[in-house]
Amino acid sequence: MSDFLMVTDLGIEGLSRLIDLAGDVKADPSRVAGRLAGAKIGLFFQKPSTRTRVSAEGAAADLGAHPIVLRNDEVGLGRREAVEDVARVLDRYLDLLAFRVFDHGDLVAIARHADAPTVNLLSDLSHPCQALADLQTIAENRAVAGTILTYVGDGNNVCHSLMLAGAMSGMEVRVAHPPGYAPLDAITEEATTLAVATGGAIEVGTDAQELVAGAHVVYTDVWASMGQEDQAEERRRVFAPYRVDEDLFGLAAPDAIFLHCLPAHRGEEVTAGVLESPRSRVFDQAENRLHAFKALLLHLFDAID
C-alpha cells in the first residue's frame, strides 16, 4: 500500500487507470459497493471543507468502510500532541489516514510515521484528490490527451496539482497568473519534465487573454485560499484583471468548458454568468469528487478487480 500526497505518486499509467476506474465506478456504483467492508478510515480536517469531507465520508460508506472524522479542535495537531505521535497512534486504530492540513510538511511527517496509507485532502502545496475529479470531468467532455487547459489565477495548491496531473495526461496546461503569484518553480519544472514524457506542454505567464485563447478548458480558483484571509483585500485588487468573465471565457474555444474546484466567489474570480453558463461543468466536477475518491480508496487498498 502506498501514500497519496501528490498526484505524481500514482505514476502516469496509474493515474490513467484510476481515472478510467472513477468513470466505471460512476457508471455502476453497485459493482464496488461494500468492497472495503471492515476498513476504518480517518478523515482529519485542519481547515474547513464541504466537498472533500462529504465525498470522502460518503465514498467510504458506499464501499462499506467506516469513516471516522476528526477535527483539529479535538486533535490539536502539533499543539496538543506532536504530529508524529498523532500519526503513530492513529495508525494503530485505522487502515488509512487522510489529512487536510496547512503545512504539507505535516503530511510528509504523518506518512513517514504511519504504515497505513496517508492521503492528502489538501495542503498548502497541493490538492491531488481535486485533480482526480478534474481529470474525470474533462474525460467526460473530450479526450484528455491533447486538451488545452488554461488555469487563470493564483499559482496555488489546486494549480500545482492540475499542472502535474495535466502534464501526466498529455495535456497542454497553461497558467495565467498576476505578477508575483506564479506556481512554485519546482512544480513548473516537474510538470514540464512530465509533459515531455507524455507529449503534453506547460506554459506559465501573466497574459490571461493570450493564454486563454483557443483553450478547451478554462479553470479558476479563489484568489485568497484558506489561511490567506488577511490578504484578501490586497488580492482582490491584484487579481481583478484575472477574473474569468464572459469576455475572457469568450476567447477560449467555442465549445470550451469552465471548471472551478469550488467554493466559488461570484463576481471575484468568476462572474455568475460564466459559473452558471451551459458550458460550466462545476457541479459535475464536484460530484466527481465522490467517484474519484472511491477509485482512489480501491487503488490504495488494492481492491480493484
What residues line the site for ligand NVA (CB under 6 A)? 122, 156-158, 221-222, 225-226, 261
Nearest Cα to Cα of residue 279 among 304, 305, 260, 302 = 260
221 tagged catalytic: yes
- Which of 51, 53, 113, 127 is labelled catalytic? 127
Based on CB atoms, which residue is closest to ligand CP, 52 or 271? 52
**Within 13 Å of residue 121, how many CA atoms lie on the same side as its CB?**
30
Q: Which residues, at least 6 apart from 60, have a Cβ–Cβ distance to it below 8 Å?
A: 36, 39, 41, 43, 66, 67, 297
Nearest approach, Cβ of 5 to ligand NVA (angstroms)?
16
Nearest approach, Cβ of 250 to ligand NVA (angstroms)?
25
Interface characters, 214-253, with ligand CP (x: CB under 6 A): ----------------------------------------
- Which of 235, 261, 281, 285 is labelled catalytic? 261
Q: Which of residues 87-126 bind ligand CP (CB under 6 A)?
A: 122
- H/E stretch holding 149 reads strand 148-152
- Which of 46, 130, 136, 285 is labelled catalytic? 130
Provide the 10 A C-beta neighbour count for residue 32.
22
CB of 168 closer than 8 Å to CB of 198: yes
**Dist. CA 271–CA 264, nearest whole Å:** 10
Based on CB atoms, which residue is closest to ligand CP, 69 or 262? 262
Q: Which of residues 117-176 bind ligand CP (CB under 6 A)?
A: 122, 130
Determine the residue type at 195. A
Based on CB atoms, which residue is closest to ligand CP, 50 or 193? 50
Based on CB atoms, which residue is closest to ligand NVA, 156 or 169? 156
| Residue tagged 480493484 (cell numbers) | 304
Nearest approach, Cβ of 130 to ligand NVA (angstroms)?
7
100 tagged catalytic: yes
Nearest approach, Cβ of 123 to ligand CP (angstroms)?
12
- H/E stretch holding 54 reads helix 51-62
Nearest approach, Cβ of 262 to ligand CP (angstroms)?
5
46 tagged catalytic: no
Based on CB atoms, which residue is closest to ligand CP, 126 or 130? 130
159 tagged catalytic: no
Q: Which residues, at least 6 apart from 1, have a Cβ–Cβ distance to it below 8 Å?
A: 116, 117, 300, 301, 302
When CB distances are held under 5 to 8 angstroms depending on the partner's kind, the choice from ligand NVA, ligand CP, none that residue 157 binds is ligand NVA
**Dist. CA 44–CA 170, nearest whole Å:** 33
51 tagged catalytic: no
CB of 177 closer than 8 Å to CB of 208: no
Helix (H, G, I), strand (E, B) or coil at 210: helix
Where do contacts with ligand CP occur on this chain (CB under 6 A)? 49-52, 122, 130, 261-262
